[in-house]
Structure 1
């Protein structure tokens, strides 16, 4: 039994150490996704190892104990900021102000035929901004019943699972659909005006994931994140970035995005909000994200009910409080080293719209 335990912990240790490298190969980067699962299995391994050391001390039981502790320490370091034990990066809104912004992001799964379930979710939660991903012409037609409630819209239907649609109750003053890194993988960028007359920017992305069926490496995904981060670094307007990043919240590339842009993650200190995979409770991680600039507080974050997709929808409600200066939690990442090691481009021929005044 101890031999089996040591073998299992050895595999988990390899999966723990591999992502520490800067390799962008999909096999390496996929280990970022399973940190929670590795942590839970290692925790079970630790309990078994403690039992073994207590009742039958041996080299194998001690080795298993040490390996489990090392795995838990490393994995815990990555996932801790998203637990309830950590400090909140974004303050909570403690009053009942009606002046909030509700953003709902939903990767619909293009082949999902349960359109009505998503429509019911939208009608129930009434987001001000609705971002749908993997939407094609069929989904556009099915969601046409929302058009009266959302007079401002940006459509980019595609049949390659990278279509995007944006539905807004707020006036969209400027809009642009871009292909920042790869052809046929769009992103939507808007300048909109809230009900209070405040101009804000929204940037909605869905880069390709590193996988054997998509991209051999994470470079296209990482490049899109860093291009966006650099473009928004010194932005003066309140800004929101949302979408399916095909990356987990604690990965090096997502942390690098936040470090460069200075944006905040309202999930920190509040929970993981795992949005994928909706069909397998034991294999879930946070793939759908929302980041924002300073000057917001959080009223509500919720992972919504199932609607037939392999993703859950994410609903985030923010309150604009320009006097509120949230603090980005300390991150000792060396930005220049990370950019160099990941071989991120210094410049891009495709520019992110920032809607300069």
Structure 2
């Protein structure tokens, strides 16, 4: 049993350190997805050792120290996605000006459309973004989206089709192929009220895998971040980004775009893989500007896809956004430039 403990410890330590290191290779990148799983397994192994073996030689203590180190460096990264962390997007009780979104990767091979139709009817979203749609999905969903007259449809047969349905008016709708000519993304503006428009980006880059180019995926995400950095209007980015919320590339994306993740301080909201309970990761994302607050964030049920859908209800509160910006700008001014109160 002690030998089995050493072997398991060595495997978990190695995988845990690989998950922590920022090595941009697909065969290392995949370990980044499993930080929560590594933390869980390491904690379980330490407990099992205490229960079934219970002796601690110098070697055992060194092995435990390595396990604790691997646990801590990974847990520190995922800590923001737990209720132990402060919420990045505040809660709101304002229901006068809201925008709701339903986001889902339908899985192209999945032909069980009835459950998705029911999700649409039950949640009644203002915006519906679907990835992996083909002509079959667009045709089958038509009765459920009849009250969404504004559309941007790009059905494809390569599992990267995308469809945006909206009750709110759209402007400057465009399907872009930023990096690869068969990987679309959607860009448009949403009319939130009579004065304001919201920039919207729908993304679905390739996942890290032997047959994909990781640099292409990163290039698309960072290109969109740079575009957002130059925009003045508020922005929403949504979609299956095939990356976890705590990854290096996602962190850089948030820093450059200045967008907020509503999951921070609330939970993981793992959306993939819906068919494998223990190995689930948060890969379907929503990022918003700081003019929004959160009314509701919910992971919906299984509907035949390998992803769970996400439903989000946002409150649009631009006045608070301007006040926050003004305070930040004032705080960043040199002392000599600030008005004296003496």
User: What TM-score, normalized to structure 1?
Assistant: 0.87
In the TM superposition, 1:1-357 aligns within 5 A as 1-51=1-51, 55-93=54-92, 95-195=93-193, 197-212=195-210, 214-215=211-212, 217-325=213-321
Shift of 1:59: 3.3
Structure 2 Cα separation of the partners of residues 2 and 317 of structure 1: 51
Q: Spell out, residue by residue over 1:27-77, the C-alpha distance to the aligned partner (whole angstroms, 9 max, x if none).
A: 110001111111100111121344478x32223431332122112101111
User: What TM-score, normalized to structure 2?
Assistant: 0.90
Shift of 1:96: 4.6
Structure 2 Cα separation of the partners of residues 181 and 163 of structure 1: 15
Gaps of 5+ in 1: 329-357
Aligned residue for 1:9, secondary structure, equals helix
Shift of 1:313: 0.3
Q: Spell out, residue by residue over 1:2-43, the C-alpha distance to the aligned partner (whole angstroms, 9 max, x if none).
A: 221222122122222224444322111000111111110011
Q: Please tell me whether the aligned partners of residues 20 and 32 of structure 2 are also in contact (alpha carbons under 8 angstroms).
A: no
Structure 2 Cα separation of the partners of residues 283 and 19 of structure 1: 15
Aligned residue for 2:254, secondary structure, equals helix
1:183 and 1:327, CA in 2 relative to 1: closer, same or farther beyond 3 A?
farther
1:21 and 1:85, CA in 2 relative to 1: closer, same or farther beyond 3 A?
closer
Larger deviation, residues 243-252 vs 58-67: 58-67
Provide the alpha-carbon RMSD of the alignment: 1.8
Larger deviation, residues 149-158 vs 68-77: 68-77
Structure 2 Cα separation of the partners of residues 43 and 307 of structure 1: 33
Aligned residue for 2:141, secondary structure, equals helix
1:51 and 1:63, CA in 2 relative to 1: closer, same or farther beyond 3 A?
farther
Shift of 1:314: 0.7
Match of 2:336 in 1: none
- Higher-Rg structure is 2
Aligned residue for 1:316, secondary structure, equals strand
Aligned residue for 1:62, secondary structure, equals helix
Structure 2 Cα separation of the partners of residues 327 and 305 of structure 1: 37
Q: How many residues are treated as equivalent by the alignment?
A: 324
Structure 2 Cα separation of the partners of residues 324 and 60 of structure 1: 57
